[in-house]
């Protein structure tokens, strides 16, 4: 099992963005817990 590292940043228009380092995965959300859930979902969608 490999590990995917996400860079999470506050978006200028509010909320957060997250992108996987070294992978073509990007997600966004209004709250940090939503980002965490979206990142987990994206990770399982792109094995």
Q: Please write the tens of the pLDDT for every residue from 14-42.
A: 999 999 999 888 999 999 999 989 888 87
Q: Is the pLDDT of residue 45 over 90?
A: no
In three-state secondary structure terms, 15 is: coil
Helix (H) or strand (E) run with residue 41 in it = helix 32-45
Answer whether 29's CB lies under 8 Å from 16's CB: yes
CA 30 to CA 46: how far, in whole Å?
23
pLDDT at 16: 94
pLDDT at 28: 92
pLDDT at 6: 93
Q: Where are the domains of the chain?
A: 6-45
pLDDT at 47: 62
């Amino acid at each position: 099992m490999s590990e995917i590292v996400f860079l999470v940043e506050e978006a200028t228009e509010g909320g957060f963005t997250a992108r996987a380092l070294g992978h073509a995965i990007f997600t966004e959300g209004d709250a940090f817990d939503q980002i965490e859930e979206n990142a987990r979902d994206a990770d399982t969608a792109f094995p």
